[in-house]
Amino acid sequence: MNETTPIVLEPRLLEPANAVTEPDVPGARVFRRGKVRTVFHAGPEHFVIVASDRLSAYDSVLPTPIPGKGAILSLLSAFWMRALPAASPHHLVSDDPATFPSPFREHAAALAGRAQLVRRAERIDIECVVRGYLTGSGWKEYKASGSVCGIRLSAALKDGSRLDPALFTPATKNDLGHDENISFERMADSVGHERAAALRDRSLAIYEAARAHAWPRGLVLADTKFEFGVVNGRYTLIDEALTPDSSRYWDRAEYEAGRLLSFDKQVVRDWLDASGWDHEPPAPALPVDVVTKTQQRYLEAIRRLSGGEGA
């Protein structure tokens, strides 16, 4: 683990009045707008990715933002890419907008904390999912079949059981709708066995390094997903890394007491389920207390992960 510096968010980023729902940079050309991030052209070899405070759940973008969420995602992703040797090579060039090309540097103050200059990559359309604990969709599949993505597991496991070794369970990458869990063999048929094996081994190595970092800091890294692309012939980590949006974190003390307390958007999912929403657009607005609780969970996650032992 490389030496790291604790991340402290500026208070202005957390104020509701400063929430960013539709990133815009005057003079910059949009490459793609996603559910949470907007990608801008930044020359022939680079993009600038700006993370909004939007939140998606059940394939819908919610009408209520989580102030500061975009900054937390960007800062934490950059933290992991710099801190974990296993994460290299990655696409991050800089997260200091003052060093970006024009017109981005002229808007550095507005972009601070939530923007990254990255290398362009040829995206590999596979979600590289790693499960270190049995939960979520994996738990549902296990209850029905005793296996996860075609991998047979031992009997009598429960929601939250640790998996050693961790499982690599890829999924199709769908920009619209649900990603589909697939077997490693099907992934190999799609992208080639050598590439599939390289991405599997790389994903497991990053996950294990991150799991070992999170545990003494009071967090359990239950599962995560990575995306990779090709830059100059090398498999390169792209998109985001080990954020509360792409990963499932639990409080370690609660886990050891037999309870699963999430540090991700599970608070929102739970409220949406209890609200009676049928998961079809449009999604309902979130109440203030759910927004506040979600923001606090994200902040606590970045505080612990970027701080020292026992942070």
pLDDT, tens digit, 9 for 90 and up, residues 223-271? 999 999 999 999 999 999 999 999 999 999 999 999 999 988 889 999 9
Write down how long the chain is. Answer: 311
Instruction: Collapse the DSSP code of 164 into the 3-class scheme (helix H, G, I; strand E, B; otherwise coil) and give the result.
Output: strand
Distances (CA, A) of 296 to 6, 292, 302: 17, 6, 10
Domain 11-120 has CATH 2.40.30.10: no
Domain 123-265 has CATH 3.30.70.1110: no
CA neighbor of 249 nearest in space, from 221, 268, 269 = 221
Torsion of CA 231, 233, 237, 238, to 10 degrees: 30
The residue that leads in pLDDT, 100 or 178, is 100
CA neighbor of 223 nearest in space, from 144, 169, 293 = 169
Contact criterion met (CB below 8 Å) for 51 and 33: no
Question: Rounded to 5 degrees, what are φ and ψ at 222?
Answer: -75, -50
HEC readout, 199-246:
HHHHHHHHHHHHHHHHHHHCEEEEEEEEEEEEECCEEEEECCCCCCCC
Contacts (Cβ under 8 Å, ≥6 apart) of 233: none
The domain segmentation of the chain, as residue ranges, is 11-120, 123-265
Report the predicted TM-score, pTM, of the whole model to 2 decimal places.
0.93
Cα separation, 171 vs 124, whole angstroms:
12
Give tens-digit pLDDT for 123-169.
Answer: 999 999 999 999 998 999 999 999 998 899 999 999 999 999 999 99
